[in-house]
Amino acid sequence: MNIRWLGHASFLLKIGNKKLITDPFDEQSGYAVFEQEVDIATVSHEHWDHNAVHVLAGSPQVIKGKGFFDLGEIKIKGVPSFHDKTRGKERGPNTIYKISAEGIDVVHLGDLGHLLEQEQVNEIGNVDILLLPVGGIFTIDAEEAFKIAKQLDPKIIIPMHFGTPHLSFNLAPVEPFIAKFDKVVKMPYLEVNEEKLKDQPEVIVLDYMQ
């Protein structure tokens, strides 16, 4: 499995001969729009910087909302959550996606705005790689992200949804979050299989793919 960060909450997962994109954005985000064809797109919620499936090339299968989606070698579980601490009254619902393939469980938290309830932790289950928002303001902040990492106990944490020079609006930078960990590395992308999971650093900050 190959994981590349496209910026914000968008990642490209290459799984066998399939390409899966999470939370695609358009040019308003400040990041370069991904223009290659993809097979699958997950959308955590209906905000412009997360649901821009109209910019995607090809005819991807779009996954939205809770439920179980069997896509052959790729299985996806959508777990309902909220974009805020008031059960969606401020910013609406959010879907957490567990993407399982090649013996690896990748969990994308979308724009999660609250700590997880135990029922949600149980429903998510095993987490090998956690794609975790850390920039606050519209989502959980560094302190809350650290607590959620403890709740889910992943083997690898990849922070997302934080402020960079490219993002067109303000979020907190990644540094307050990664300062809480001893083993942090920066990489252009993550190439991993089931056997190599345990040999990876605890936190990996990916370069955004231009």
Under the banding of pLDDT at 50, 70 and 90, the label for residue 48 is low
Residue 181's nearest CA partner among 206, 136, 149 is 149
Residue 179 binned pLDDT confidence (cut-offs 50, 70, 90) = very high
Of residues 49, 10, 31, the one with CA closest to residue 165: 31
- Tokens representing 107 are 């969990």
Q: E strands of 65-141, at which residues?
A: 67-71, 74-82, 93-101, 104-108, 129-133
Mind listing the pLDDT tens digit for each residue in 64-88?
A: 999 999 999 999 999 999 776 777 6
Pairing mode of beta strands 184-187, 203-206: parallel
Buried b (16+ CB within 10 A) or exposed e, 161-194: bbbeeebeeebbebebbbeeeeebeebebbebee
- Tokens for 208, please give them: 């955004």
Which range has the worst mean pLDDT, 47-51, 170-174, 175-179?
Answer: 47-51
Q: Is the pLDDT of residue 185 over 90?
A: yes
* Confidence grade of residue 5 (pLDDT, cut at 50, 70, 90): very high
Higher pLDDT among residues 55 and 161, named by residue: 161
Q: What are phi and psi of 199, to 5 degrees?
A: -95, 0
The residue-averaged pLDDT of 164-192 equals: 92
pLDDT in tens, 91-125: 668 999 999 999 999 999 999 989 999 999 999 99
Q: What is the CATH number of domain 2-206?
A: 3.60.15.10
DSSP state of 88: T
Residue pair 93/80 in contact (Cβ under 8 Å)? The answer is yes
Global pTM reads: 0.93
- 85 phi and psi, to 5 degrees? -95, 5
By DSSP bridging, strand 190-191 and strand 156-160 are unpaired
Note the pLDDT of residue 139. 85
Domain limits, the chain: 2-206
